Chains A and B, each alone.
Chain A
Amino acid sequence: MPPVHSFVQRLKWPDYLIAAVLIGFFGYIWYAIEGTLNYKWRWELIPGYIVGWHTGREEYFANLLLQGLTATIRISIYASILALILGTILGVARCSANLTVRMLARTYLEFLRNIPPVVVVFIFFFFLSQQLIDALDLARWSRGIARQDDIWLWELFFGDMRRFPSLISGVIVLALFESAFVGEIVRAGIQSVPKGQREAARSIGMSRTQELRYIVLPQAMKKVVPPMANQFITLIKDSSIISLISVQELTYKTVELVASSRMIFEAWITTAAFYFIVCFGLSRLFARFEKRSDQR
C-alpha cells in the first residue's frame, strides 16, 4: 500500500511559488483599498442589513439583503418550473416530424443563443411580459389583494403583493430565457432514447403522441436530471440579470444598499457569498443525489 501523504506533504516548490504570487496580488489590492482609497470597512453594519431590528415595533424584520435573497429564491423556483414546462414543449418541438414546428423551435433557440442575455431580457420585458401584465390587469388585481388583511399566505408565496407584477414579469422573462437551454437538454434526452424503443412502441400500434408520452419522454426525463439540475443552478445565477428590469431580487437590493450606505465592498462580498452558498450548496446536494441513484 502506498504511503498516504497529508495535503502539506504533497506540496512541491511550484505550489509555494503560486501561493506567494497570489498572496502578493491580494495583498496589493488590500493595500490599494486601505491606503489609496482610504476606505473605511464597516462589516459590523452588514448583519443589520440582513435582519434588521425595528425599534418602534420592537421586532426583527427581514432587511434589504434577506428580502433580496428570498425574492431570488422565489423567482428561481417559479421560473424553473415554468422553464421546465416551456422547455419540454420546445424540446419535443425540436424533434417533431413537422418541419414548420421544428423550424420555429430552432428559430427561437438561435435567437436566444445569438443575442446577449441583457438585450433578450429587455426585449422579453417590453414586448411580452409588460403587455401580458397590462392585458390581464395584474397591477390592479394585486393592489387589491395588498389592501386586504391577513394575506400571509399570499406573502409567503409572492412576497410584497404591491410588487407582484414586477415579480411575475421577472419570472416570465427568466423562464423564457432559460427555456431555450432547457429545451436543448430535453432534445438531447429525447434523442438519447434508442431508435428501437420508438419502433417497438410503433409496432404495438401506438400513435406518435402515445409513443412520446409513455415510452420516449419517461426515459428521456430520467436521463436529463443531472444536466437539468445544473441548469437550475445556472438559472439562479442568471436571475441577477432581471435586476435590470427593476425586479427586486438580491442583486437589485444590493445596488440599493450600496447607493444608500456606500458600503461597496462589504455589500457586494456579502451578496457574492449568498449566491455562492446557495449555488454551491445545491450542486453538492445534487451530486449526492446523483451518486445515490447511481448506486441503485
Chain B
Amino acid sequence: MTQTAPIIEATNLDKFYGDFHALKDVNLTVHQGQKMVICGPSGSGKSTLIRCFNGLEWHNSGKLVIDGIEVHEHAKEIRELRQEVGMVFQQFNLFPHLTVLENLTIGPMKVRRIGQQEAEETARKYLDRVHIPEQANKYPSQLSGGQQQRVAIARSLCMETRIMLFDEPTSALDPEMINEVLDVMVELANTGMTMVVVTHEMGFARKVADTMVFMEDGRIVETSPPDQFFTNPSSERCRIFLDQILEH
C-alpha cells in the first residue's frame, strides 16, 4: 500500500481517570484512506483512544494532531475538528425526539448553516447509501437496532466528514442485525473513507482492515497488517486473545 499523508498522529499519549492510567504512552499514525481496526480485551483503552480523536475525552500528556489541528482541551478549533471527524457509538445515540430525516439534517443545518432543502437532499442521498430511504419520516424508536445504527452512520456521513470513528458499532445489536451494519461499513470503506474501528468482528476486520492494532492495559501491544496479525502475531498476548475470540 502506498503511504498517503498522515491524518491522525498521536505521540506519547497518556490519559488518566483519577488514579487509573487509561492510556500509556500511545503512539499511532493513521494515514488518509487507511482502514484501521483496533481490538483488545475490555478495559484496554480502545474506546478511550478513539474518543480522544474527536475531543470527547482529553489526553493528559503527549501530542495529538488531527487533520493539521493540535487537539487539546482548550483548542478553539475543536468544533471544526468534530465536523471533520464523525463518530458512531455503540448505543447509536440517535436523537429520539427527532425523525430520522431531522436527525440527519440538524447537524448540517445548525452547525454548517446549510439550507433545509439542500440538507434534506444530502440526507436522502445518505439514507439511500445505508439502504433505508423509506424510513425517513419515522422516529428512531420505530426502527430496529440495525436500522438505527445505519441511521447513525448516515448522520455522521451527512456532515461530510473526512474520518469516521466507530466505537464497537455492532456490540449492542442482536446477532441477526450485525451483518446489515457491517455491510454498510464495508461499502463505506470502498469509497475511500478513512476509518478507525473498534470492534471484535474479526470477519469484518479480515475483509476491510489494512492495519490491525491490538491494545491491552492501556498500551498498544501490536500493530501489523491483517494477514500477519491473524496468522502470525508477534506478541503472545495477542495470540491468546485471538484464540479466545476466534475459537467458536
Contact = CB atoms under 8 A, between A and B. Distances in A.
Contact of A204 (B80, B91, B155): B155
B111 A205 contact: yes
Contacts of A203: 54, 56, 82, 85-87, 89, 156
Q: Which of A199, A204, A206 has the most CB of B within 10 A?
A: A204
Interface in A174-194: 194
Interface in B83-120: 83, 85-87, 89, 91, 93-97, 106-107, 110-112
Contacts of B89: 196, 199-200, 203
B198 to A, nearest CB: 15
B82 A215 contact: no
A203 B155 CA distance: 10
Interface in A190-232: 194, 196-197, 199-207, 210, 214-215, 218-219, 222
A204 B82 contact: yes
Contacts of B87: 199-200, 203
Nearest to B112: A205
B155 to A, nearest CB: 7
B110 A214 contact: yes
Contacts of A196: 89, 91, 93
A218 B97 contact: yes
A202 B159 contact: no
A210 B86 CA distance: 18
B125 interface: no
A19 B91 CA distance: 56
Contacts of B83: 204-205
B94 A200 contact: yes
Contact of B97 (A201, A210, A222): A222
Contacts of B55: 202
A197 B55 CA distance: 15
A204 B109 CA distance: 11
Contacts of B54: 203
B79 interface: yes
Contact of B95 (A202, A207, A215): A215
Contacts of B80: 205
- Interface range for A: 10 to 19
A154 B155 CA distance: 51
A200 B93 contact: yes
A199 B155 CA distance: 14
Interface in B25-76: 54-56
B111 A206 contact: yes
Contacts of A218: 97
B75 to A, nearest CB: 13
B95 A197 contact: yes
A204 B56 contact: no
A206 B109 CA distance: 11
A200 B82 contact: no
B142 to A, nearest CB: 12
Nearest to B82: A205
Interface of B: 54-56, 79-80, 82-83, 85-87, 89, 91, 93-97, 106-107, 110-112, 152, 155-156, 159
6 contacts: A197-B95, A200-B95, A203-B82, A204-B86, A206-B79, A207-B79
Question: Shortest 10 CB-CB distances between A and B: which pairs?
Answer: A204-B107, A200-B93, A205-B83, A196-B93, A203-B87, A205-B111, A205-B82, A218-B97, A205-B79, A196-B91
Given A199-B87, A201-B95, A202-B56, 6 more contacts: A199-B93, A200-B93, A200-B95, A200-B152, A204-B111, A206-B110
